[in-house]
Amino acid sequence: MKITVTIKQGFTGLLFENGVLTRELPPGRHTAGAMFGPAPTVELVDLRERSSTIKNQEILTGDKVSVRLSLLVSFRVTDPKAAVLNVANYEDRLYEDVQLSARRFLATRSLDQILKDRNELSEAIQADISGPAKQFGVTVLRADVKDIIFPGQLRELMNRVIETERQAEANLIAAKSRAEIAALDAQSRAQVASVEAKTALENQQKKLELDQAFAALIEKNPSLVRVKELEAFKDMGKAAQTHFYVGVDRQKRDA
């Protein structure tokens, strides 16, 4: 008996005639079977990437702490014939292999080691199950840890530890900020003091140069001393409202 079957994109069909796998059917429309005799059967195999969640696996760690683990495994069928013929159900087999792999790995690790590097668990499971999975036509793409759930008391203790670590980190950041601010302030003060000292030294140098220039000028022109004296008397007279007579006879002045 002939049959007509359509294989969708992303799938492949395994054609069985009289219980024997005869050929693989790619996507498209196919007619198979003889005019007389039993009708062939077609088993569809999904070739798309899929994921399977392994939930709430209760496992003992190496230091005898009970944890519940949830994993997400992504895979793709790459050998449809092996996936159908080598195991009764390749998805169930993959599920079991992931469970056993997680148990084997966690039994060799302490809780502290697991918490420090969850990626190590994911990588170890993927490496452990990839070889056996290929024997039944499946390629494992990823094996990620979704959740790790701890007993109630341990969870509370861990929350306190995490909060303490966060507070310590915040205190460290604050201390670093204060130290940086103090260093910047000290640097600014040092720069200001350096500028002030440089300015004072420059002013002193300029004053010295002016004094030297004036001394040289007086040496060349002695009469300037007398002019300076008269200017000084003038300023004193204005300040004290007093009159000074320079070079005038006192009796003539009083007459």
pLDDT of residue 2: 85
pLDDT value, residue 161 = 56
What's the pLDDT tens digit per position in 62-74?
Answer: 777 778 888 899 9
**Which pLDDT band, with edges at 50, 70 and 90, does 156 fall under?**
low
Task: Return d(Cα 70, Cα 41) in angstroms, integer.
Answer: 37
Query: CA–CA separation, 100 vs 86, rounded Å?
Result: 20
Whether residue 155 is predicted with pLDDT greater than 90 in this model: the reply is no
Average pLDDT over residues 130-135: 94
**Residue boundaries of the structural domains of the chain:** 3-46, 50-150, 152-212, 221-255
Q: Which helix (H) or strand (E) holds 165?
A: helix 152-220
Q: What is the pTM of this model?
A: 0.57
Beta strands in 26-80 (DSSP E): 28-32, 41-46, 50-60, 66-77
- CATH placement of domain 50-150: 3.30.479.30
Phi then psi for residue 66, to 5 deg, are -85, 125
Count of alpha carbons within 13 Å of 53, Cβ hemisphere only?
A: 5
Q: Which two tokens stand for residue 185?
A: 């302030």
